Structure 1
């Protein structure tokens, strides 16, 4: 069930919940706008090795940030790691599928004149293929080439600046606590976690620092969430 803690405005007669104004929605791509096709566990093991993978996973309940982890490696080791990651991503492009409900949700946002942006840790080639294959265009659409990347709030703040809106007028939707929710919360935006399988209901994630304002199991749940909690007037 989607939940949100809101402030209230009190009058002499009654207390009325404040409906936040929403002017833009920023999406993650892999696992949010597109069906998950990359085996991230296998990719992390290929980059880190089995023992290091298990150690880092145990220390990071929200998930492994592989891009930040390899930033301090030697240039040679780092290059090999990037080549391994790119190989997994390339194979994923061949199986790229749009997430059920994504096109319809974009149509809903367009009808409400709510802007749509995209932030992904994948490469620009993947973003361009997504735009071309499914006929949906997001702007700005920031790929891994934009630095800093998620979970740093920089990409989301960049989009807010480009749109000339405040972060608290924007929602970040993604399937990752460590990347998408962290990016959104650090920027001061609303956040919605897409958790199709209920994996984030596990006790492993009970004590993470940054929790989403909302959690949904499919993009089709986002319609009612937005209409119930936000002012969608153009």
Structure 2
């Protein structure tokens, strides 16, 4: 009788006839030596970018603009406190009367016009776009800025994004509608698209609500470590520069599948 310690496959192996025992041993060695299959990477069909602070260097002094809209520091601080520390100025304005709305939009338009004169492309943006073009990955744009700013961006830097949705498209981010519109135009499911932006409350939330992959660009570390972010706004990826997006795409996605895909 075999000892009780010889259990499972070892017991079967020792109890078998010599020839069959040799075959079983070879089969077991072959199985143990076989490498585990590589984890399959997800296909990526499109990348959608925010513009201000993502494709272009931030140039608008948002606190100064908000202070002028609200009529001073005290009213601005009260509005921030009421919003939990943040202000979604476009949605807030929609709830105001006609005169207040007119004043607010005039202030925003002036700050945006002044920002256009200082428009600069973000380091790494041109190289990233060339990389996406080489991989035949579609690229789109969603911004809460006006169409004039998008047109100037296209004209000045020669990097067209299609579709490019500006503030004239309603509803705005963080509503998922603009991102879902782009996915529908491309005929690509949202889970095969990544949303890249510098705002948790606008870009990341928009992407998550649409069911897309999300990547937060945090150049200055203002949001803190990735693990410290609340789950409802935590992006799938977090980078400190557009150059790091290359690593994210190449490491986590199968970019070759896009070459055989026609999303029209």
Q: Give the structure-1-normalised TM-score.
A: 0.89
2:135 is aligned to 112
Aligned: 1:130 with 2:153 = yes
Over residues 131-165 of structure 1, what are the superposed CA-to-partner deviations in whole Å (9 max), with x where a residue is unaligned? 00001100000000001111100000000000000
Aligned: 1:30 with 2:30 = no
Aligned: 1:232 with 2:251 = no
CA, structure 1 residues 171+202, in 2 after alignment: closer, same or farther (shift >3 Å)? closer
Shift in Å, 1:20: 1.4
CA, structure 1 residues 44+149, in 2 after alignment: closer, same or farther (shift >3 Å)? same
Question: Root-mean-square deviation (CA), in Å?
Answer: 2.0
8 A Cα contact 1:196 1:218, kept in partner: yes
CA, structure 1 residues 61+24, in 2 after alignment: closer, same or farther (shift >3 Å)? farther
Shift in Å, 1:84: 0.4
CA, structure 1 residues 20+85, in 2 after alignment: closer, same or farther (shift >3 Å)? same
2:175 is aligned to 152
* Matched position secondary structure for 1:179: helix
Q: What is the count of residue pairs matched by the alignment?
A: 222
Could you list the runs of 5+ residues in structure 2 that have no partner in the other structure? 1-33, 259-264
Aligned: 1:58 with 2:65 = no
Greater CA drift, 117-126 or 208-217: 208-217
Question: 2: CA distance between counterparts of 1:97 and 1:56?
Answer: 31
CA, structure 1 residues 51+105, in 2 after alignment: closer, same or farther (shift >3 Å)? same
* Matched position secondary structure for 1:17: coil
Question: 2: CA distance between counterparts of 1:45 and 1:173?
Answer: 28
Superposed, which structure 2 residues align to 1:183-202 within 5 Å?
Answer: 183-201=206-224
Shift in Å, 1:56: 3.3
- Max radius of gyration: which structure? 2
1:39 is aligned to 61
Over residues 43-94 of structure 1, what are the superposed CA-to-partner deviations in whole Å (9 max), with x where a residue is unaligned? 1111123223223333545732110011110011101100001111110000
1:4 is aligned to none
Question: 2: CA distance between counterparts of 1:104 and 1:207?
Answer: 32
Which of residues 20, 43, 51 is equivalent to 2:42? 20
Q: Give the structure-2-normalised TM-score.
A: 0.79
Question: 2: CA distance between counterparts of 1:206 and 1:58?
Answer: 20
Question: 1: CA distance between counterparts of 2:255 and 2:225?
Answer: 33
Aligned: 1:165 with 2:158 = no
Question: 1: CA distance between counterparts of 2:35 and 2:242?
Answer: 38
* Matched position secondary structure for 1:32: coil
**If each structure's helix is expressed as a fraction of its own residues, which one has the higher value?**
2
8 A Cα contact 1:173 1:194, kept in partner: yes
Could you list the runs of 5+ residues in structure 1 that have no partner in the other structure? 1-11
